[in-house]
Amino acid sequence: MKLVKSLLLGSAAGLIAVGGAQAADLPVKAKAVEYVKICSLYGAGFYYIPGTDTCIKLGGYLRADAVLGGSGDYGFNNSTATVNGGSNNRLTNYYYTRARMDLNVDTRTATEYGVVRTYADMIFSYDTSNVTAASGGTAFSTGNPSLGLYHAFIQFAGFTMGRTVSIFDAPWQSYPAGGPDSIPGGSNHVTGVNQFAYTADFGQGITGSLALEEDTTLTSGQSNLFNTSGFAASSALSGAGAIVTTSAAANAGAALIQGLYGTNDWGGTRSPDIIGAVRVDQAWGLAQFSVAAKDLHAGYYGSTEPTGHPSDKWGWAVQGSLSIKNIPTGAGDSINLQAVYTDGATKYNFQTLFPQNFFMFSGSGVGAYQSVGFAGLADGVFGAGTGIDTVKTWGFRGGYTHNWSPNWVSAIYGGYAQLKYGTTGKALICANFTAAFGAATATCNPDFNFGVIGVNTVWTPVKNLAFTADLSYSRLDQKYSGTIAAPASPNGWAANAKPGAVYELKDQNSLTLLLRAQRTF
């Protein structure tokens, strides 16, 4: 009996031990998986960030561009794709290409004070390489990768803080119905401008906005502020505007022909641009009226403080924009129109992507080596001892878009603008022009008109995949006339491979074809 009892107790103990071991090996109960949930508060594409009450949306596009012809007609300074475009010779790219990816991030959170929104838009591009003249041959760039931050802002309780488009702009920026970046006739801050803005909503689609915007570079809203005595150190002229050496004269002539009428002589920041806008946005379309004030704050007449400086002067701009939707020609058809006038605020007309000085060479019919057209844009001009003479402009642009079907859309667009220098500014520029080239065979007038007209067609075979063909014609109507004997320049346009010779001053034109494939996501 003792033996049987011992066996039973031992078996029971073994079973308890085994049962305890098995219980210890059982997995602990896992927390419920937090699945990504759709956020329907702000439209399609938003999801809740797991574990938060913040909704997020990711988007963007991938684009492949090829531009034929027009990329070689503008010598846009600081342009990665057209560094030698205006030369129209063997160094000129007859086409260029670009691959670009855009990524944007939009977050929104509902709070007791309203929605808190953040938005960022980042651009990654790679452009065609350039070629320039070099000693004993030519030099190529290794390609042109670039990064951009077009938007990065916070919105809360009607305030916008950070970088985004200007409240002065029309919603279509400088593309009333597509088209190239060089359409004049209104503002364009599509690449963003730093700002602090407030928008009041009065209901029924009526809003009013005020903003302080930092337009302090040539890539935002600031044009040249020419100091015509500034050629002394770098190009050609003494402080009094006289040629000092033959080489200096050549450099001055090269600078003038590239649309550089002096040193771009801005001082430090003093005041942001002050912007106001009123908009009505309803089912029939949109109407907007915008105003801007800009402080022109120059550096010094010379290179040091004792040389003195001109007093500050305020420039300004006004713009009206109108969009009419669903016109009788078809569902979804629209017309976009705008007009602008500026005084000392040129980039609100010749917008941020328009070159602020450029040149174009072509053939001549008067026996000259070649013809040349050039233009320099500015907010104002001053010389030694003078005040700032502001530059006045006006312009308009418009476009009509027609939907043939859900898959085919065509448009026609155009823009035209005029720039006029003041009496003092024109006299200062022309004094340098005469000193560099003489006045016997040429008439100096830096004023000009510029126009663009074009058509395009977009095919969308499937949703969010579009193929575009856009053809545009541009015309520079310059006011210079006659011929100039341009001296050889050791530095001024050596990169353009242009010789010292007689050139005809002549209007110029170009034709541009853009081919684009874009996938939006």
- Using a 10 angstrom Cβ sphere, with 0-12 exposed, 13-18 middle and 19 or more buried, the burial of residue 37 is exposed
Residues 6+ away with beta carbon under 8 Å from 447: 418, 419, 420, 421, 426, 479
At residue 164, the 3 state secondary structure works out as: strand
Residue 238, amino acid = S
Tokens representing residue 518 in the block: 């874009």
Relative to beta strand 508-520, strand 465-478 is antiparallel
Return d(Cα 247, Cα 492) in angstroms, integer.
Answer: 9
| Average confidence (pLDDT) over 164-172 | 96
pLDDT tens digits, one per residue of 348-401: 999 988 888 888 889 998 989 999 999 999 999 999 999 999 999 999 999 999
Q: Which H/E stretch holds residue 435?
A: helix 423-437
Name the pTM for this structure: 0.87
- What is the DSSP secondary structure assignment for residue 85, as one 8-state letter? G
Q: Phi and psi (nearest 5°) for 82?
A: -135, 40
Q: Tokens 């969308």 identify what position? A: 460
Q: Phi and psi (nearest 5°) for 476?
A: -100, 115
DSSP string, 187-255: ---TT-EEEEEEEEEEETTEEEEEEEE---STTTT--EEEETTTHHHHTSB-TTS-B-SHHHHHHHHHH
Residue 122, amino acid = M
Question: Quick one: pLDDT at residue 365?
Answer: 87
Return d(Cα 505, Cα 362) in angstroms, integer.
Answer: 10
Q: What is the CA radius of gyration of the chain?
A: 31
Tokens representing residue 499 in the block: 């010789």
**CA 412 and chain centroid, separation:** 22
More confident residue, 318 or 11: 318
At residue 491, the 3 state secondary structure works out as: coil
Q: Phi and psi (nearest 5°) for 86?
A: -70, -15
pLDDT tens digits, one per residue of 208-241: 999 999 987 766 678 999 999 866 434 333 333 3
pLDDT for 121 beyond 80: yes
C-alpha distances (whole Å) from 444 to each of 183, 189, 246, 389, 486 are 26, 33, 21, 18, 14
